[in-house]
Structure 1
């Protein structure tokens, strides 16, 4: 009898400690797939063959890059959400095949690449498309958004006329989600904000509001503070393959997310890649008989370690799908991707490669430059982005 009592006194505290450990560590129910210093990818099997994939990104050790298709048409005065209807441009960005974007990203950053997802909602299922909501990319607001499901005078549904959109803002230390103000553009109008996307709070997504909280693929994002210092240094991205938005958001709440939770583009467009696991969820075409690997999207988020590997310096520019329209006295966004540390110069050349204009002799190699030409720009001219340290490193955009 004494032996039994002694055994129980040993086993019960042990089981209790295991239970407490599991409760205090919500990650204990997730299977780690790829964990490095600064980032982790985890998997959790849900009911009814549903699967959740969780990314935890420490912004102090990782970088999040926006990868965006080049512009063919600026959509002048078509932006609806940045400082009022028609108060800004809403460009048509090239839809880019996810495998091409992934390959380019790995060319630029090699083994530093951790993951990639699709991001912004988009409007047209064509070769180039407008984006639903505003984006700020390395200090420049590149689109005012164009969705009919937002705070416009005549939305597709009356629910969205006064909807409060949310902005996800991040830098090299922290991230936060806050209200977006379409009248002022806040917080995107703040100089200190360099990168931000505007989107739905998960509970305002049309799939929940108009489609009865339907089961689908979703990606939801929240932020978390784990170091007990001011600011949320962790970004949590939850990708689910077959569940509701409520259930996806609940998974983030269980991990400790207390603030707002937003959605990014999901459904058939959902894409999730990890450098160790490979392609996890692929975009699907509307016709299930077609090859699901052929799907183009306009906006991605790439996650990588901070410059630990030496790579070949490159400046990459792709030709937009249509004829590039650059008009005198109207803004145009020059977009490129690079992995160089030096600044760049940008010039306009004619068909004979003769310099017509120095657009910028010195600007940051951050992938974006808003240019308003004060001269007529002719077909066949070329925009060249060149490293200031090495003139052999450049990218060309033919107009």
Structure 2
């Protein structure tokens, strides 16, 4: 047993040293907490009680999933940042408790799970919320965003009338951060771009611009080239518990990040989970005298190994808290989560479990489908997403 423990310690130390050696500026000042082939979590104690947690993700060996709450209201014509102001929809996504998302993610991917963080900024503190900026999920732009703090005609602060939003784009080989064009929707409007999120460059975050660069919890993201060839294969996520945005970004600069650095949702919503360490940073409970609560959030990023184990095939769909609003001849986003390899079918059922139509007889099991119903959808109807290989593996969304 002692020999086995020694071997495991040696392997972990070796993996950590390999990851450290890949950086132009050493990670030697960071403590390795959890290092696997393709990902590492590191910790650094800074001054004034600040702790920095760094995740280094090799996109060629890891997968990044966007985990979102189901849609109960499409917010037609309310999008502000995709293909022109008020030219797209800005749906209300169900806010999901961080522990529920964590449990579901581990249920789907088991020991392949590495970490989970909260991600997109959001607009309302209710059972469902609009997102601040556009998101592309597995090939579908699912929101045009709704923030008043961005380059729109009448922003809440004049500073934001001319800022340039940034888009983080990633696939199974690399990631990059680039300028976002709200008129054309580039780069989200490009067919080759499957997953992307729009956010602030760290220096444009309202906490820095309007709140005098206050100390808070933040999460900043940058990309890094690993092998000297064109393309940044590594995604670096820095989570700080008590720092300014400048300080958080400088930590990434010191590790060699040269391109843009963006922020994702932080403050009292900040969440960081690691499969070895458990919950590291938790969303804060709201003050009993205050509303809102910060533990129910609409958008998360899950990070996991490319599939290495046999998993129980599942399709998960949660029922939104509010009444699902679907209108005839207007688009609705069907969202689900699964871990199956086969395609799925999506069908509409009426009362008494009677099939009314094939929404899609075959589509990819990628968790998103935009549907425009040609018939009136009545209370009691059901959307059923089922595996093409085994119809008993399914999830239902009830109207």
Q: Report the TM-score, using the length of structure 2 for normalisation.
A: 0.93
Task: Report the equivalent of 1:315.
Answer: 315
Task: Report the equivalent of 1:15.
Answer: none
Please say if 1:206 is aligned against 2:232.
no
Cα distance in 1, alignment partners of residues 296 and 250 from structure 2: 30
- How many equivalent pairs are there? 377
Query: 1:257-283: per-residue Cα shift (whole Å, max 9, x none)?
Result: 000000000000000000000000000
Cα distance in 1, alignment partners of residues 128 and 276 from structure 2: 31
Task: Report the equivalent of 1:97.
Answer: 97
Query: 1:44-93: per-residue Cα shift (whole Å, max 9, x none)?
Result: 00001100000000000000000000000000000000011110000000
SS of 1:392's equivalent in the other structure is coil
Cα distance in 2, alignment partners of residues 75 and 298 from structure 1: 15
The answer (yes or no) to whether the contact 2:139–2:191 under 8 Å persists in 1 is: yes
SS of 2:27's equivalent in the other structure is helix
Cα distance in 1, alignment partners of residues 147 and 294 from structure 2: 25
Cα distance in 1, alignment partners of residues 391 and 24 from structure 2: 55
Query: 1:271-325: per-residue Cα shift (whole Å, max 9, x none)?
Result: 00000000000001331789x9981000000000011011110000000110000
SS of 2:345's equivalent in the other structure is strand
Task: Report the equivalent of 1:66.
Answer: 66
Task: Report the equivalent of 1:195.
Answer: 195
Cα distance in 1, alignment partners of residues 127 and 380 from structure 2: 22
Cα distance in 2, alignment partners of residues 377 and 176 from structure 1: 41
Task: Report the equivalent of 1:133.
Answer: 133
Which of the pair has more CA radius of gyration?
1
Task: Report the equivalent of 2:377.
Answer: 377
SS of 2:115's equivalent in the other structure is strand
Unaligned 5+ segments in structure 1 are 1-20
The answer (yes or no) to whether the contact 1:180–1:186 under 8 Å persists in 2 is: yes
Query: 1:148-198: per-residue Cα shift (whole Å, max 9, x none)?
Result: 000111100000011100000000000000000000000000000000000
Task: Report the equivalent of 2:3.
Answer: none
Unaligned 5+ segments in structure 2 are 1-20
Cα distance in 2, alignment partners of residues 128 and 24 from structure 1: 43
Cα distance in 1, alignment partners of residues 28 and 72 from structure 2: 48
Which aligned segments of 4 or more residues in structure 1 are displaced greater than 6 angstroms? none
SS of 1:111's equivalent in the other structure is helix
SS of 1:26's equivalent in the other structure is coil
Cα distance in 2, alignment partners of residues 195 and 288 from structure 1: 38
